[in-house]
């Protein structure tokens, strides 16, 4: 079982690796800025595998030693700053390096400078920003104090925002400004909480704060402010006004980076706060509130995803739902008897879900980009024939969706088993219902898309479709291979023994029999097909039958439900509503944290 790094442990033999993991992307980004032209792409491609090797070495060191520590300047906290890697850090470092490497391979053919042109703004900026996001993520995963986490979070935000508006159109600039402004509000709340903690306890070191924080007014207000600020950056419902337009405007590689990794940075800090810094400040009311927001995100995001007409927006709203899925672990990890958050199966399940989602969702966004390039559009109703044009991309989308549904041998399947076990152990059956429903909804929009993709291409497409397909672009096999590799990785995470890094029993991996595997696969797909027919934008290809007549009232009700969810989503994504939601959530969470027996 993974254990936290001992208090004020001296620098370890592998501590230098922690610095190297941050230096590599920072140095590559700076070198790319100076080199200019086409060189940032070459520099980025050279740095990515090197960084992946370093993160694997860190994970190996954590597995053997229990943790790695590096004291900057040789000074121990609280005077100095320490970088620390535990099991959670190690797996997220490797995940980030692997996903960024795959995105880099995809972007090599997708975001490139045209022939005969010495330099172009968008490709040049993309590679610098990609390295900047990677540097920010590595710092988030390794930072040992709350102010360094703040700095890393800002690096991550300011590198991610320009990815939204690389095309430079008014719509993408507006989406980027919306993202920036709301993210800055979240940063202000987080920094306000950091200030309160420093004033009350005289240190920001994670290990030292864990020993000193108590349920004082300053600690409770800081916990509420920091948590809500991070939820705004993570785009948890109802604080998600920036996420759909950001994905709609970003290039496929940028969307993959935003969905797979950028939102995981703020999520990881929430995990650090609740499990490492202030586990004893959590209450039943607070954990139930956070998980209730997650459940609302699962329902709202899934319903709105089923009503989308564009593939990219469908994946964006499914990201909204999957973000909610991550927060279900908080109430399951709370020990009522100890009145504190506990590292156990629920935490392991949540982190496994985060890793599975990162790999699968990056694959799905890259696959959507390849489909768009091949067909000239991403309208779901006109995806017929995509399987022939880009079979690798379609396979990646399908495998990524299967992994997110939670089918064996995916990491999401093992994550779901751990979360369901935690729900049973704590007697919270209602969260088990939400967990199972999340898999069924994911299957619904997977079925909805694949049913269109595998239809034969029509001989007489609509005028709009014909116009879109007049000049489709070719799709390199390297792009499809990168997406396939990530999807396959997500689908194989359940086969790994995670006990050296995550708080699970040794040998915890997929061991289901063939019968159990078939049963676990059949019912979510069947339920998802039903939800797709009843709620999705499903146009029958044949004349109405008696069965269609029977289903008509149900489909009408399902369509009304989906339309209502879209209206609620539209209301929540208005600035006044989002601002009031942010304020109300901070107040309610503060009250919930104060509600102690």
The answer to whether position 382 is within a domain reads: yes
Q: Return the structure tokens found at 549.
A: 């007549």
427 backbone φψ class: left, alpha, beta (φ>0; ψ -120 to 50) = left
The answer to whether position 81 is within a domain reads: no
Beta bridge pairs of residue 379: 310
148, 497, 591 from 260: Cα distances, Å: 22, 23, 32
pLDDT grade, residue 545 (50/70/90)? Answer: low
Radius of gyration for the alpha carbons in the chain, expressed in angstroms and rounded: 23
The answer to whether position 320 is within a domain reads: yes
Higher pLDDT, 473 or 93: 93
d(CA 353, CA 350): 5
- Reference 54, options 10, 23, 86, 13; nearest CA is 23
Q: 452 is in which domain, residue-wise?
A: 143-594
pLDDT grade, residue 200 (50/70/90)? Answer: very high
CB 592 within 8 A of CB 284: no
The answer to whether position 98 is within a domain reads: no
In terms of DSSP H, where are the helices of 36-77?
39-65
d(CA 167, CA 148): 32
In terms of DSSP H, where are the helices of 143-169?
146-164
Measured from the Cβ of residue 113, the count of other Cβ atoms closer than 10 Å reads 17
pLDDT value of position 541 = 52
| Total domain count, the chain | 1
Beta bridge pairs of residue 445: none
pLDDT grade, residue 544 (50/70/90)? Answer: low
d(CA 594, CA 597): 9
CB 206 within 8 A of CB 144: yes
Q: Give residue-wise pLDDT tens across range 202-238.
A: 999 999 999 999 999 999 999 999 999 999 999 999 9
pLDDT grade, residue 494 (50/70/90)? Answer: confident
The answer to whether position 45 is within a domain reads: no
Q: Give residue-wise pLDDT tens across range 181-192.
A: 999 999 999 999
pLDDT grade, residue 296 (50/70/90)? Answer: very high
76 backbone φψ class: left, alpha, beta (φ>0; ψ -120 to 50) = beta
pLDDT value of position 88 = 95
pLDDT grade, residue 326 (50/70/90)? Answer: very high
pLDDT value of position 516 = 66
CB 315 within 8 A of CB 368: yes
Q: What are phi and psi of 359, to 5 degrees?
A: -70, -45
pTM of the model: 0.93
pLDDT grade, residue 341 (50/70/90)? Answer: very high
pLDDT value of position 409 = 84
What per-residue string of b and e applies to 547-577 under the rule 16 or more CB within 10 Å gives b? eeeebeeebeebbeebeebbebbeebbeeee
The answer to whether position 68 is within a domain reads: no
The answer to whether position 31 is within a domain reads: no
d(CA 491, CA 99): 14
Q: Give residue-wise pLDDT tens across range 239-278.
A: 999 999 998 888 899 999 999 999 999 999 999 999 999 9
d(CA 69, CA 76): 11
The answer to whether position 46 is within a domain reads: no
């Amino acid at each position: 079982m993974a254990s936290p790094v001992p208090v004020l442990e001296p620098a370890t033999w592998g501590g230098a690796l922690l610095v190297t993991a941050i230096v590599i992307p920072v140095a590559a980004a700076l070198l790319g800025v100076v080199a200019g032209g086409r060189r940032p792409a070459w520099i980025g491609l050279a740095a990515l595998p090197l960084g992946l090797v370093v993160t694997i070495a860190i994970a190996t060191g954590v597995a053997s030693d229990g943790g790695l520590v590096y004291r900057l300047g040789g000074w121990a906290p609280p005077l100095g700053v320490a970088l620390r890697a535990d099991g959670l850090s190690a797996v997220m470092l490797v995940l980030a390096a692997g996903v960024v490497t795959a995105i880099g391979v995809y972007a090599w053919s997708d975001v490139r400078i045209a022939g005969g042109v010495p330099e172009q703004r968008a490709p040049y900026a993309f590679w610098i920003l990609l390295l900047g996001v990677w540097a920010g993520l590595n710092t988030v995963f390794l930072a040992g104090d709350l102010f360094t986490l703040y700095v890393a979070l800002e690096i991550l935000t300011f590198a991610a925002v320009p990815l939204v508006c690389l095309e430079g159109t008014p719509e993408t600039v507006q989406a980027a400004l919306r993202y920036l402004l709301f993210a800055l509000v979240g940063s202000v709340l987080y920094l306000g909480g950091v200030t309160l903690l420093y004033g009350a306890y005289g240190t920001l070191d994670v290990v030292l704060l864990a020993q000193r924080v108590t349920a004082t007014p300053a600690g409770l207000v800081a916990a509420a402010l920091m948590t809500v600020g991070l939820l705004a950056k993570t785009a948890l419902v109802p604080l998600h006004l920036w996420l759909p337009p950001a994905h709609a405007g970003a290039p496929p590689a940028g969307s993959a980076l935003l969905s797979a990794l950028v939102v995981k940075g703020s999520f990881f800090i929430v995990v650090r706060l609740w499990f490492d810094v202030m586990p004893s400040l959590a209450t039943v009311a607070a954990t139930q509130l956070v998980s209730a927001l997650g459940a609302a995100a699962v329902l709202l995001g899934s319903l709105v995803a089923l009503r989308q007409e564009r593939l990219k927006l469908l994946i964006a709203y499914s990201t909204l739902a999957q973000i909610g899925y991550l927060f279900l672990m908080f109430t399951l990890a709370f020990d009522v008897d100890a009145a504190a958050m506990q590292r156990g199966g629920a935490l392991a399940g949540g982190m496994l879900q985060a890793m599975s989602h990162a790999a699968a969702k990056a694959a799905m966004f890259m696959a959507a980009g390849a489909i768009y390039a091949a067909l000239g559009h991403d309208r779901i109703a006109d995806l017929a024939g995509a399987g022939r044009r880009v079979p690798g991309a379609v396979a990646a989308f399908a495998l990524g969706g299967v992994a997110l549904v939670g089918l064996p041998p995916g990491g999401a399947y093992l994550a779901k088993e751990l979360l369901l076990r935690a729900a049973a152990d704590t007697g919270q059956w209602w969260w088990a219902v939400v967990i199972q429903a999340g898999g069924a909804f994911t299957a619904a929009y997977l079925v909805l898309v694949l049913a269109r993709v595998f239809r034969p291409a029509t001989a007489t497409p609509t005028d709009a479709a014909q116009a879109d397909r007049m000049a489709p672009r070719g799709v390199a096999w390297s792009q499809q291979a990168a997406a396939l590799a990530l999807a396959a990785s997500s689908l194989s995470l359940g086969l790994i023994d995670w006990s050296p890094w995550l708080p699970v029993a040794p040998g915890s991996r997929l061991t289901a029999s063939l019968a159990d595997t078939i049963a676990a696969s059949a019912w979510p797909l069947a339920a998802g097909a039903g939800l797709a027919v009843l709620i999705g934008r499903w146009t029958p290809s044949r004349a109405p039958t008696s069965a269609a007549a029977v289903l008509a009232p149900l489909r009408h009700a399902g369509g009304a439900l989906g339309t209502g969810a879209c209206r609620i989503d539209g209301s929540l994504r208005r600035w006044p509503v989002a601002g009031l939601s942010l304020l109300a959530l901070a107040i309610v969470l503060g009250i919930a944290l104060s509600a102690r027996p």
